[in-house]
Amino acid sequence: MVFENGTAALRDIDITVRPGEFVSLVGPSGCGKSTLLRLAAGFEQASGGSVEVGTGHLGYVFQEATLLSWRTVLQNVELPAELAGVARGERRVAAREAIERVGLAGFEKHKPAQLSGGMRMRASIARALTLRPEVFLFDEPFGALDEITRQRLNEEVGSLFRRDAFAGVFVTHSVPEAVFMSTRVVVLTGRPGRVAADIPVSLDFPRE
């Protein structure tokens, strides 16, 4: 991937993520992790090569919670369904279910500013869950959270994944987090970034 200004961000990348695989992407700052995720999401157009992403919905969780401050948790979570033209009743049900799954039941009417950082991140995850994505992309979602909240969210995302077995890619700076969370760890290095290692992780979690 070469940006219009000439910056080369990725080279010779060949990665396939299958349904039921949760791949962590680690590597030094600037090696192209976010770029790779943004290419997968279609936020960037590749300067070369091809990017293919399933046929269903895609969930994307950004580094910051990016909730709309004037909307309640419920209104934020149902936004993707609203934009996709899902009928009001149906999207309410989907949003409430997603809110429940991330442990925010009871907070539907709260505004983002009334929630803790961890709760805002959970609302963001719920928002990405509403359309039941077949592909889930996380761009270093828990970097700004305290260690305890982060560990709790690691466990919760891990359990969402074990339940739904979507194809997931999780960008992180933390190698322990990568190993704990995923079924595979891909290490990118260099500028432009290349795949330095692609390692299966077999912690043998019990499937839920």
Nearest 5°: phi and psi at 188? -100, 140
Among 24, 33, 57, 137, binds ligand ADP (CB under 6 A): 33
Among 88, 114, 155, 176, binds ligand ADP (CB under 6 A): 114
- What tokens does 182 get? 């995923």
Among 17, 32, 130, 195, binds ligand ADP (CB under 6 A): 32
String of contacts with ligand ADP for each residue 39-78, x by CB under 6 A: ----------------------------------------
| Residues in 159-198 that interact with ligand ADP by CB under 6 A | 191
Among 11, 71, 111, 152, binds ligand ADP (CB under 6 A): 152
Closest distance of CB 42 from ligand ADP, Å: 14
Nearer to ligand ADP, 114 or 205 (CB): 114
Nearer to ligand ADP, 9 or 65 (CB): 9
